[in-house]
Structure 1
Amino acid sequence: MGRWEPGARERLQGAALSLYSGKGFEVTTVAEIAQAAGLTERTFYRHFADKREVLFAIYDEFTQPFLDGIEDAPRDARPIDVMAAAVARASGFFTAERQPYSRARQGVITDNPELHERELLKLASLAATLATALRERGVPEPSATLSAEMGVTVYRVSFEMWIADGESRPMADIASGVFAELGALTAPA
């Protein structure tokens, strides 16, 4: 087995998604994932805490672009505009090349109710992290929490639209439109 070959994490993610999509999440074992990736179970556990985390490690990968977007936003920007900048930056993570994987991943999550809770926890953690970053910028409560929660909601809605069959727009464009829709909903009558 090529346990020391580069790309072990990505190979494990690809093998897991293939097995989850083909035979089902519940019946797929860590041993099967490792074998399909040409790696050992020990290598699997170096990269992931459990077989669910293979699907959710992505949140760790793209949290930093959200934080970078908050950091780089103009100091005088409204909190919701700071979140729009953060979501725009994080949207760059979701390239056209990632779209098929993202669609398949979401399909596995949708088909397995036990995974819904993990996804909601990751999104809640992301919102808490972003609210902290906003507070560190000097945004008071409840504006920091409300803006972070709205930013994560816009991200989630945009992501769901982006993975829809036939969708070809960049996620950043979709997110911009969703933020505009949010603005229209909250504008004075």
Structure 2
Amino acid sequence: MPRWEQGAEDRLREAALALFLEYGYENVTVAQITERAGLTRRTFSRYFADKRDVLFAGSDQLPAALADAVAEADAALTPFEALLDALEKVGDVLAVRVAPHAAQRQAIVDSSTELQERGRTKFAAVSDALDAALRRRGATPPTAGLLADVGVAVFRTAFARWVDEPDAAAYSARVREAADELAHALDRR
């Protein structure tokens, strides 16, 4: 038997998603996931730290990816424009990676207080990284913090809309749509 099973990570993820949807996140164990996937606990541990990680794997890379994209944005862009550019670029890459299971994953997260809290913690890290990146671009601390939080809100809004209708528009279009909506709302105050 080969040391690394081909497709093991995908099998584990698909088994976990199916079980979470069928029985609820809180009612599923790692043992049940590995049994459904036909793999061992040891194999599970090679890919995921715990069952939450099945849903959030790779999300620890998002803060740095967004901060790097802000830094790499055209120097002529305002801090907000650089932020939107970063959200579009990174979001489109992310959308391709998560597309197959995005709606299922979101439904599972929405059904669990524990997972919602984990998501908020992950987005706090994104906000911190964006804040630092915007400061390095010259934004003042209060402005950088405000824009970082707005960026997270735009990101989350765009992602939710994209998950609801992934074929209707690219993720980047959803970012622009959310940003335009925000601008319109601010113009009306």
TM-score interval, normalised by the smaller of the two chains: 0.7 to 0.9
Instruction: Name structure 1 gaps, 5 residues minimum.
Output: none
Per-residue deviation, residues 157-183 of structure 1 (Å, max 9, x unmatched): 111111125862111111111111222
Name the counterpart of 2:111.
Answer: 111
2:18 maps to 1:18: yes
**In structure 1, what is the Cα distance between the partners aligned to 2:136 and 2:10?**
34
**In structure 2, what is the Cα distance between the partners aligned to 1:27 and 1:10?**
21
Per-residue deviation, residues 6-27 of structure 1 (Å, max 9, x unmatched): 4433332222111101222111
2:95 maps to 1:94: yes
TM-score by length of 2: 0.87
Change in 2 beyond 3 A, CA 1:3/1:103: farther
Identity %: 36
Name the counterpart of 1:161.
Answer: 161
Change in 2 beyond 3 A, CA 1:4/1:166: closer
Where in structure 1 do 4 or more consecutive aligned residues deviate above 6 Å? none
Q: Secondary structure of the residue that 1:52 maps to in structure 2?
A: helix
Q: Secondary structure of the residue that 1:94 maps to in structure 2?
A: helix
**In structure 2, what is the Cα distance between the partners aligned to 1:14 and 1:106?**
14
**In structure 2, what is the Cα distance between the partners aligned to 1:86 and 1:162?**
17
**In structure 2, what is the Cα distance between the partners aligned to 1:124 and 1:58?**
16
Name the counterpart of 1:42.
Answer: 42
**In structure 1, what is the Cα distance between the partners aligned to 2:39 and 2:147?**
43
- RMSD (Å), alpha carbons: 2.3
- Give the number of equivalent residue pairs: 188
Name the counterpart of 1:184.
Answer: 184
Indicate conservation of the 8 Å contact 1:79/1:143, yes or no: no
Per-residue deviation, residues 23-44 of structure 1 (Å, max 9, x unmatched): 2211111011122233221222
**In structure 2, what is the Cα distance between the partners aligned to 1:94 and 1:16?**
20
Per-residue deviation, residues 83-124 of structure 1 (Å, max 9, x unmatched): 1011101221213x8435110001011112222111111111
- The structure with the greater share of residues assigned to helix is 2
Instruction: Name structure 2 gaps, 5 residues minimum.
Output: none
- CA shift, 1:188, in A, is 7.6
